[in-house]
Structure 1
Amino acid sequence: MKIVLLSAANNVHTVKWANGLARSGVHVHVISLHAMTQDFDSSVSVHLLPFKASLGYLLNVFKLRKLLKEIEPDLLNAHYATGYGLLSVLARQSCPNVISLWGSDIYLFPKKSAVHSWLLNYILCRATAIFSTSYCMQKELNSQSLAKGVPVSITPFGVNIDLFKPIPAIQNDNAQRDKIVIGTVKSLKHIYGIDVLLNAFERLVNEVPECVFELQIYGEGVEADSLVKLATQLGIAKQVIFGGFVPNNEVPQILNRFDLYVALSRSESFGVAVLEASSCELPVLVSDAEGLCEVVSDKSTGLIVPIDDIASTTAALKELVMDAGKRRLYGLEGRKKVVDKYSETACIDTMIAAYKQVIERKSYP
């Protein structure tokens, strides 16, 4: 099977899909507007288009057609509906065209205006099939009456369970310390609710003075300065560490230093970061954003609280920090769930099976 991924070569998820498919025997070509900043396996062929975003999604049409004629793939898979998806349908390739949804292309883009909604529907209706990383994203697609009649398959992001795993040496060091570390690894944007976490942490510190707590926040984003300012205003600056950006391959080291992982997103299409934490045997506390509820089993792998509810978040934090046995149990169950359902290997197998199903239909636009 020969597959072309039309996707951002500088995105870690593109690299994971490409490398995972290649290791499973698929001949993979990546075509991208974005310069390669990630490590692809040597068996993956990467082609850079001449024109960059945003006009590149229009100006690269003829170059993409030429490349597809040279490669002669069995299937083209465009990742992200708005942008690469548009380029894929304008190129009018002579093979099945699958568009993979990632999140904001469905949750945010079509709600900007009627024109944006029309454009997204135009793109998706010209796809042979649509791949969604989560069931809740498929539900959102249906609620907006987009891409009627186009078949949809669920192809979740997978976790490298050999990379994201417990590290005994770090955990042994954790056992010697006298503080409880709460942490998160997310972009510092309003949508991810870091402000809610800071407010709940401040209440936790004041309500449980007999314990020593530390909050570690890793990531970068437009709200970095305002969140640092908020921590100061709340009087918790000395207990909060803003660690900045962390490369994906270093995240397991960070996660293993936490006693508890928290993700309080106001909207989330799929909780891959939460799954990575669970894979490291961390208990998780998440908001009830649909994508997070899909990957967390309440009172089994973690706790779920209402979006933007500081009081409920504080209560859940207290419940978990005061019960080491419960944290341990949730962490073990979380790892088991990831291994059973969300391992990289299992998700690549799901993707390949979906590809074969599309190819075997033998009818496409």
Structure 2
Amino acid sequence: MGRLLWSALELAGFEPVLASEKRSFDSQGDADFQHAMKKQGSAEAEALIAKWRARPEDAPKGWFTYHIYHKAPDWIGPTVCAALDIPYFVAEASHAPKRARGGWQMGYEAAASAIRSARAVFHMTRLDGECLKPLIAADNALVLLPPFVDIETFIENAAQIDIDAAVTNAGGRKDVNNLLAVAMMRGGDKLMSYQQLGAALARLKTPDWQLLVIGDGERRREVEEALAPIGDKAVYLGAMAPDALPAWYEYADIYVWPACGEAYGMAFLEAEGCGLPVVAGNIRGVPDVVKDRETGLLTVPGDAAAFAAAVDQLLADAPLREKMGQAGRQFVREERTLAKAAEILKSHIEGVL
């Protein structure tokens, strides 16, 4: 999404320049680490301020930061903006009041302060928007920028793949319905999603199907254990480059993913853009990218029986799959495009500048 936002800013007529490569992410809630990041951020901010004051012709007209939250606050941008008197913009911020105390308190407070200072905060889900509302000053804007993909480029760059051979080589079968999941094999929410997926698919009543799994990672063994309930119906295809994915989205019959803890899920948009209906958990930002009963079916989070019933429904109804696939293709290619995102960014950023 960071790269897509960069492309959207360029399409909107702006000239983005990477000001810093500093990464403030703190996965542990370590106060000492946050203090160190604050100190390093302050030093980097002062260096940038000095550089741009010495060469004002090179100074930016505004600052744009992507994905601020308690684990990854912006220790640089607000300081630079205050010193140079330029506006601050934020995309995909999130605000979780439950983090006001505990290991991430310092990061939480820094993120909240940065969000309050932003002239425009672009949020990508309705849930995030509701949480951010209390931080938005009367003169600043809270703007919905729905998740988007550059689906045209995604399709144009698609690699040619011998799908049948790849499936056979991985131990899969031909002439069955293909479910598809694309996800890294790591701990936390990803592993939990694989576990829920295995439990749900083991309940399917439809006999002729297999699960194509694209992804790899350090938790491969645990993922295989999670999918053990479906036995040899799990076909592991390994990690793939992005240009390989369109062919698999086109080949599969249903995209399946419980989406535990998912912010929204870029793979859902990719799948829909390729005409693939979705079954997913109705959680967090997923309803912002999957239109329930139009482009797919959303189920109660963690309800294995409901997830299985939704998959069975689509497996048994090819016309419904086709209808949802076409609706998904239209939704992504008309409403969730790079051009639409550029239009929103251009309107609100230019309005401030």
TM-score class, shorter-chain normalisation, is 0.7 to 0.9
Deviations 1:249-282 (A, max 9, x none): 3332332232111231233333332111100000
Deviations 1:140-185 (A, max 9, x none): 223xx44454421112332112134498x879979x9411111122
Q: Per the alignment, in what secondary structure is the counterpart of residue 113 of structure 2?
A: helix
Q: Does 2:177 match 1:190?
A: no
Letter paired with 2:74: G
Aligned partners of 1:246, 1:78: CA distance in 2, in Å? Answer: 29
The equivalent position to 2:48 in structure 1, one of 48, 61, 64, is 64
Q: Which residue does the alignment assign to 2:20?
A: 32
Q: Does 2:74 match 1:88?
A: no
Shift of 1:108: 8.1
Deviations 1:205-255 (A, max 9, x none): xx333x1x22122334564331212223x251x221344443333332332
Aligned partners of 1:266, 1:318: CA distance in 2, in Å? Answer: 21
Shift of 1:302: 0.7
Q: Does 2:5 match 1:17?
A: yes
Answer whether contact 2:38 2:75 (CA < 8 A) is retained. Answer: no
The equivalent position to 2:153 in structure 1, one of 146, 163, 166, is 163
Aligned partners of 1:290, 1:336: CA distance in 2, in Å? Answer: 23
Q: Does 2:248 match 1:254?
A: yes
Aligned partners of 1:140, 1:326: CA distance in 2, in Å? Answer: 36
Alpha carbons of structure 1 residues 21 and 126: separation in structure 2 relative to 1, 3 Å: closer
Answer whether contact 1:261 1:277 (CA < 8 A) is retained. Answer: yes
Alpha carbons of structure 1 residues 330 and 178: separation in structure 2 relative to 1, 3 Å: same
With 255-264 and 305-314 compared, the bigger mean Cα shift is at 255-264
Alpha carbons of structure 1 residues 66 and 249: separation in structure 2 relative to 1, 3 Å: farther
Answer whether contact 1:131 1:155 (CA < 8 A) is retained. Answer: yes
Q: Does 2:331 match 1:337?
A: yes
TM-score (structure 2 length as normaliser): 0.79
Q: Which residue does the alignment assign to 1:178?
A: 175
Alpha carbons of structure 1 residues 352 and 67: separation in structure 2 relative to 1, 3 Å: farther
Letter paired with 1:270: Y
Matches within 5 A, 1:165-314: 165=155, 177-188=174-185, 189-192=187-190, 193-204=193-204, 207-209=205-207, 211=208, 213-220=209-216, 223-232=219-228, 234=229, 236=231, 238-314=232-308
Q: Per the alignment, in what secondary structure is the counterpart of residue 77 of structure 2?
A: helix
Structure 1 segments (4+ residues) deviating >6 Å: 52-55, 169-174
Q: Which residue does the alignment assign to 2:30?
A: none
Q: Which residue does the alignment assign to 1:48?
A: none
Answer whether contact 1:158 1:348 (CA < 8 A) is retained. Answer: no
Shift of 1:65: 2.1
Structure 2 regions of 5+ residues with no counterpart? 24-35, 168-172
Aligned partners of 2:282, 2:52: CA distance in 1, in Å? Answer: 42
Answer whether contact 2:78 2:114 (CA < 8 A) is retained. Answer: yes
Shift of 1:68: 4.6
Q: Which residue does the alignment assign to 1:47?
A: none
With 266-275 and 321-330 compared, the bigger mean Cα shift is at 266-275
Alpha carbons of structure 1 residues 200 and 121: separation in structure 2 relative to 1, 3 Å: same
Shift of 1:72: 2.2
TM-score (structure 1 length as normaliser): 0.77
Aligned partners of 1:110, 1:151: CA distance in 2, in Å? Answer: 23
Aligned partners of 1:140, 1:171: CA distance in 2, in Å? Answer: 46
